[in-house]
Structure 1
Amino acid sequence: MIRLAAPGDEAALTGFLSRHLETSMFLYGNLESQGLAASTHPHATRFVLDEQDGVVRAVLGLSNNGFLMCQAPQLAPVQARAMARLLGGRTAAGMTGDDAQVATFLEAVMPAPQLDTVEPLFTLDLCRLPPVAATIRPPDRSELALLTGWFAAYMQETQTGVTSGAAERARDAIQGGPVRLLLRDGQPVAMAGINAAAGDAVQVGGVYTPPQLRGQGFAGQVVAALLAERRRAGATRALLFAASDAAARAYLRIGFARIGRYRMALWRPPAVIGEAAG
C-alpha cells in the first residue's frame, strides 16, 4: 500500500531509514528535527510510504523548500510513479539520494534537470578520526561580508544554489548554524558545516577554501576539527560526498572510505512532479 505518512508513523520510518543511513541523511534528519506534524519550516517534509504487510519498503519525501528525497531499494518505475502521484502535482527545485534510485525516479517521473551530478559518497567511523590540532570557531557578525562571499563562491563553483541566497546562508551561520571557520594566524582560511544530523551520525557539507589558499590541506583540517567537535558531542559516524577529486583526496587523507555514489539534480525554475519528459 502506498500512502502519506501521518503522526504515529515515526517509529516505522525511523527504523527503515536507520537501516539505510548512508543515503538517507536528509530524509532521516528532517524527520528527526521536524517530525510529521504540519509545519511551515523549510525542512518540514511530506513523506510518502510504500508498505508491504505493514512493513515500510520505500520512502519518498518532499520538503517545504522543494527538495525531493528518496530511499527505495530496488526502485521500479511503476513504483516511482505511484508514489509521486500522492504529491499532487507539487513542484521540486531539486532531488538528492542514492545514484541508481534517483536515476530511476528522474526517468520515470520528472523532466530533465538543468543540473544532474553524481559524486562519490564517503563514510568515517569517528573513533578512527586522527588527532586534530587545528583551531576552529563559529563565525561572528563582523564576518558577514566574508561569509557571504564564500557562500556565493561555493554555490557558483558547485552549481548547487543561487548566489543571491548567499547572504541568507551567511546570516544563518552567524546566528548559530552548524558552520565552523578554520583559523590561521587568527584569520579564517576555510569553512565547513553540517548539512544533516540523524541518530548518532552527521553529514558534512559546505566545505570551502578560497582558491588562493588551496593546496595547504585546509579543507581536510577544517573537516577533521569539525568532526572532532561533533564526536565530543556524541556523534559516532560521519558521511559526506565530494564535489571534486581534490576534495576526495582530502577526505581520504583523514580516514574517510568511499562507499557509493550520491546524486543531485536541480531544476531552474522548479519542475512539476510527475511531468516526465516525453
Structure 2
Amino acid sequence: MHTQKLDNAHRDAALDFLFRHLDSSMVLYSNVSQYGLEYAGQPGQGEHFGAFSPQGALLGVLAHYWHGGIFLQAPDEPVRVALMQAFRQQATRPVDKAVGTAAQVESVVKTWGLSAEDFRLDSVQQLYRLELSALKPPEDGRSQHCRIITPQAQHRPLLERWFRAHFLESLGATDDDDLTRTVANRVGQLLAEEHDWLLECGGELVCLSGFNARLPGWVQVGPVWTPPEHRNRGYARILTGLTLKMAAAEGVGTAILFTDNPAAMRVYEALGFQRIGDYRVTLFKQAVGQ
C-alpha cells in the first residue's frame, strides 16, 4: 500500500470509490464532484490524500477542507493509519474538527492523542437512510395551513438569528465575532445555493430544513432547525416531509441524514427513515497540526 496527495487526475477514481460507500460519504462525494480534489482556498475545496493497493486500487480518501475539518472514508484501519500519517507529514493548515463514521473519526483523534477534555463537541449520532418510495408524509390537518418558501435576501436577518442559535445549541459554538462571521458566510451560502427552505404556517415562519449534500438520485438532509418557541408542533416533520416529497418528484430516490437528538429521531422515523449505522462529529477546542 502507498499513499499520495490527490489531484484532479484522480477525480474519477475517487468518485467511484466514494460511491461504493455513499451512505457515509455524501459530503465527500458531493464536494469532489463539484469542486474537484485540489485546494485553492475556496469554499467547498480541500486537500485530498489517497491510499492505494499495490495494484493501484484506491482504498481510502481523506479530505482536509477549507474550514479546517477532516472528512475521512477508509473502512479498513490500516488504511486509515496510513492516510493519517501521510496527512500529518504534508499538512499545511491546522485541523479543528473531524467528521465520519465513529471508527474513522477515532483514527483522526488518536493521531493527535486527543481525549474528551480536548473537545468542545463530541457526538456519535445515528445514521439514517430512507428510500423515498417508502416516505410517510404527515397527513394531519396542520400541513394544509402551511407552505414552503425559498429563502430570499429579505430573510437574511431571521436566518442569521436562527443559525446563530443553532450553532450555539447544537454545535457548542462560542458566542463571539468569529461566530458572527461564520453565520454570515453560512447564510450567504444558503441564499446562493437554494438547497434550503422555510416553512410558513399561519403567516409566520416557523422552521428551516434543507439538503447539505445533493447528488443525482440522492440527498442528505440538514440542517433542520425549529426555534424553541415553535417546537413540539410537528413543524420539522411537515417541512422535511414536504422537501423530500419535492425531491422525489425531481427523481431523487434515496435520502440520508444523521442526528443525536431523540426528538429528531422520532420525527425521522415517523417519516420512514431506518437506522443503518453511526456518524460522529467531533469539534476540537483548539486546532491541531500545522
Asked if TM exceeds 0.5, the reply is: yes
Pair 1:85-2:88 in alignment: yes
Structure 1 residue corresponding to 2:186, chosen from 169, 191, 197: 169
Match of 1:121 in 2: 127
TM-score, normalising length: structure 2: 0.87
* Corresponding residue SS for 1:205: strand
**Structure 1 residues 242, 82: closer, same or farther in 2, change over 3 A?**
same
Match of 2:231 in 1: 214
Match of 1:276 in 2: none
Match of 2:149 in 1: 137
Structure 1 stretch 211-220 or stretch 193-202: which is displaced more? 193-202
1:72 is displaced (CA, Å) by 0.8
User: Where does structure 2 lack aligned partners over 5 or more consecutive residues?
Assistant: none
Pair 1:195-2:198 in alignment: no
| Structure with greater proportional helix content | 2
Question: Does the 8 Å CA contact 2:136/2:270 hold for their aligned counterparts?
Answer: no
The code of the aligned residue for 1:143 comes to: H
Match of 1:232 in 2: 249
* Distance in structure 2 (CA, Å) of the matches to 1:59 and 1:135: 41
Question: Does the 8 Å CA contact 1:135/1:225 hold for their aligned counterparts?
Answer: no
Pair 1:155-2:167 in alignment: yes
1:125 is displaced (CA, Å) by 0.8
Cα RMSD between the aligned structures? Answer: 2.0
Spell out structure 1 runs of 4+ moving beyond 4 A: 131-134
* Distance in structure 2 (CA, Å) of the matches to 1:18 and 1:223: 25
Identity %: 30
The code of the aligned residue for 1:7 comes to: N
* Corresponding residue SS for 1:43: coil
Counterpart mapping for 1:1-278 below 5 A:
1-52=2-53, 53-76=55-78, 78-109=81-112, 111=114, 112-131=118-137, 135-159=147-171, 161=173, 163-164=179-180, 165-272=182-289
* Distance in structure 1 (CA, Å) of the matches to 2:90 and 2:237: 40
* Distance in structure 1 (CA, Å) of the matches to 2:256 and 2:163: 21
- Per-residue CA deviations over 1:58-78 (Å, capped at 9, x if unaligned) read 111111221100001122364
* Distance in structure 2 (CA, Å) of the matches to 1:183 and 1:127: 26
User: Where does structure 1 lack aligned partners over 5 or more consecutive residues?
Assistant: 274-278
* Distance in structure 1 (CA, Å) of the matches to 2:42 and 2:194: 15
Aligned length: 273
**Structure 1 residues 254, 50: closer, same or farther in 2, change over 3 A?**
same
Question: Does the 8 Å CA contact 2:126/2:259 hold for their aligned counterparts?
Answer: yes
Question: Does the 8 Å CA contact 1:60/1:83 hold for their aligned counterparts?
Answer: no
